[in-house]
Amino acid sequence: MVVRIRLARFGKKHAPFYNIVVAHARTARNSRPLEVLGTYNPLPQPPRPGDTHGRPWKDIKLDLSRTRYWVGVGAQPSDTAWRLLAMVGILEPKFRVGEVLGQVVRADSAAKSLIPPATAAGGESGGAGETKGAVEA
């Protein structure tokens, strides 16, 4: 059976609060999950004391070891859960905004789109001494 990492909504009207849960894919959003991995509060919190920029922040609390376990055994994160796990650093971002041509580029093809294509013209052989093009920073 397919297992998903997704958000279960709690809280009041206009004050959402989410649990990051592991649940079977066909169960309801707020049904009993297999495991609760953490919480996410999307409402901006006041700046922390000592923050030089004074920016509001959103709270993400996550059990990293259990989350890595579930991702490792094949749990499929939802799009929103994927975005949160990418913020924490567990997954690679699914979509990156490409500065080239102002279009959205999938993360797995982002590096390929930035590498210039190799020229196949001429008598060049794919010898062992050749290296592939590097990504310019």
Contact (Cβ atoms closer than 8 angstroms) between residue 75 and residue 22? yes
Blockwise average pLDDT, block size 10, the chain, 137 residues: 93 94 93 95 87 85 95 94 92 68 54 51 49 46
In a domain, 67, yes or no: yes
Q: What CATH number should be reported for the domain holding residue 46? A: 3.30.1320.10
Contact (Cβ atoms closer than 8 angstroms) between residue 80 and residue 60? no
In a domain, 63, yes or no: yes
pTM > 0.75: no
Count of domains observed in the chain: 1
Its domain, for residue 11, covers 3-91
Write the DSSP symbol of residue 115.
S
In a domain, 12, yes or no: yes
Contact (Cβ atoms closer than 8 angstroms) between residue 3 and residue 70? yes
Q: Which pLDDT belongs to residue 132?
A: 44
In a domain, 124, yes or no: no
Q: Which pLDDT belongs to residue 94?
A: 78
